[in-house]
Amino acid sequence: MTKTFFNLIQEVQKPGLCHHCGGCVTFCTAINYGALELDENGRPRFKDMEKCIECGLCYLICPEIHELDEEQKKVASWSEPIGRVLETRVARARAANIREVATDGGVVTALLVHLFDLGFIDGAIVTRQTEPFQREPWLARSREEIIEAAGFHFDTSAGMHHFSDHYSTYVPSILELGPMAKFGLHRVAFVGTPCQIKALRRMEALGVVPAHAIRYHFGLFCSGNFEFGPEQAAQLEEIGNFNWDDVRKINIKRNLKIHLQDGTVKTIPLDRLAFMKRYACRYCDDYSGEYADISFGGIGAPQGWTTVIIRSPLGRAIYANAKEEVIDEYRDPDDPHHSRHVLKMILEWSERKKDEAERNRDALVKKGVTVKS
């Protein structure tokens, strides 16, 4: 018997495992079934149950369903323990205007702009900031829009009233596949979290639209996303001993780094942010974007640089073409094996996340199902 969206609700949404990636809704909308939509909290739900033909593809696409695991691994040539790793590099954008707005070294933005300038892509699905901790998915269709979406820009002009609403660092970027199809774009780069890349790879394995238009998969290292409002914001202030009005930039490496206007950097260990972590993120075992063509993060890189894992021949071609033209590589004169040490650090963080996810899943099974928002 084919499992359908109803089964997704029972097996994924009710236990709180739904990542709100939007893959099921996007697929259903892209092929004009229109049976599903996202509610105000980002959860998939029936929009019109009568339009559901019970094909079961939404169920198979979900990154929390394991029926397509082997097909997904084959598409990405995945291998133990953290996916295929061809090369590990630490780099940064050459262009000063990109580095100025970048969270780390601006390599993602530099590569996207390079691909666009060469005519290899018509656009890129990225995120852009709308509030201090709020970003939205965005289909960037020019080099200016790609650069505009870069980095983290913290507006302190209005003080703490920014935290009057509930915020989340997670962005359902897959939803931008809809506008991509609307504009008729067929060569697009996608930048997203590990769970989003998994959903796209499942679509690719099934050969369903609109995955055919995603030519490049850029994965982001992810220790988890966070949700918070005024109470959590105040608690972070107390933990880090800072004032939000003084914050200039935030990024995550081995710790949460809060950069203040006076140049001071406040550091908060990630294990102290458990009170803010999205519920579903506690059960995700992918730290380094294991199914991407290239993965990016801050861990192991000096301030102002980006750690890069090149995973596929396509990813290697992208990087090699851009090297020396739009990006510079980091060289540590005191550590000729720096990249090897960075990879060891990534392996350690990946193992930690996998172990934590396994423990949490075991505990969830023992506890039983509780409906989570």
Residue 160: its pLDDT value, please?
A: 33
When pLDDT is cut at 50, 70 and 90, the band that residue 163 belongs to is: very low
Q: Is the per-residue pLDDT at 165 higher than 70? A: no
Q: Is the per-residue pLDDT at 83 higher than 90? A: yes
Instruction: Give the Å distances, CA to CA, from 34 to 24, 30, 186.
Output: 11, 8, 22
Residue 129: its pLDDT value, please?
A: 76
Residue 161: its pLDDT value, please?
A: 36
Instruction: Kindly report which listed range (23-32, 192-201, 293-302) carries the lowest average pLDDT score.
Output: 23-32
What residues pair up with 189 in beta bridges, in sequence order? 124, 216
Residue 66: its pLDDT value, please?
A: 92
Q: Cβ distance 18 to 43 under 8 Å? A: yes
Please name the helix (run of DSSP H) or strand (run of DSSP E) that holds residue 168, with its range, or none.
Answer: strand 167-168
Distance, CA of 351 to CA of 371 (rounded, Å)? 28
The more confident residue out of 256 and 318 is 318
The answer as to CATH 3.30.70.20 being correct for domain 1-67 is yes
Residue 319: its pLDDT value, please?
A: 97
The more confident residue out of 88 and 275 is 88
Residue 97: its pLDDT value, please?
A: 92
Residue 30: its pLDDT value, please?
A: 62
When pLDDT is cut at 50, 70 and 90, the band that residue 115 belongs to is: very high
Outline where DSSP puts E strands in 31-158.
36-38, 44-46, 87-93, 123-131, 134-140
Tens-digit pLDDT profile for residues 61-74: 899 999 999 999 99
Region 133-142 average pLDDT? 84
Residue 370: its pLDDT value, please?
A: 52
When pLDDT is cut at 50, 70 and 90, the band that residue 157 belongs to is: very low
Share of residues in the chain with pLDDT > 70 (%): 91
Residue 131: its pLDDT value, please?
A: 65
When pLDDT is cut at 50, 70 and 90, the band that residue 102 belongs to is: confident
Q: Give me the chain's average pLDDT, please.
A: 86
Residue 168: its pLDDT value, please?
A: 66
| 208 HSE (CA, 13 A, CB side) | 22
Question: How does strand 123-131 pair with strand 134-140?
Answer: antiparallel
Residue 225: its pLDDT value, please?
A: 84
Residue 92: its pLDDT value, please?
A: 97
Outline where DSSP puts E strands in 182-322.
188-192, 214-220, 227-228, 247-252, 255-260, 265-269, 294-297, 306-310
Region 273-298 average pLDDT? 93
pTM comes to 0.87
When pLDDT is cut at 50, 70 and 90, the band that residue 9 belongs to is: very high
Q: Is the per-residue pLDDT at 187 higher than 90? A: yes
Extract the tokens encoding 172: 């359902």
Share of residues in the chain with pLDDT > 90 (%): 52
Residue 7: its pLDDT value, please?
A: 94
Extract the tokens encoding 341: 């040490």
In single-letter form, the type of residue at position 35 comes to: A
Tens-digit pLDDT profile for residues 199-229: 999 989 988 767 788 999 999 999 888 877 7
> Domain spans of the chain?
1-67, 69-366
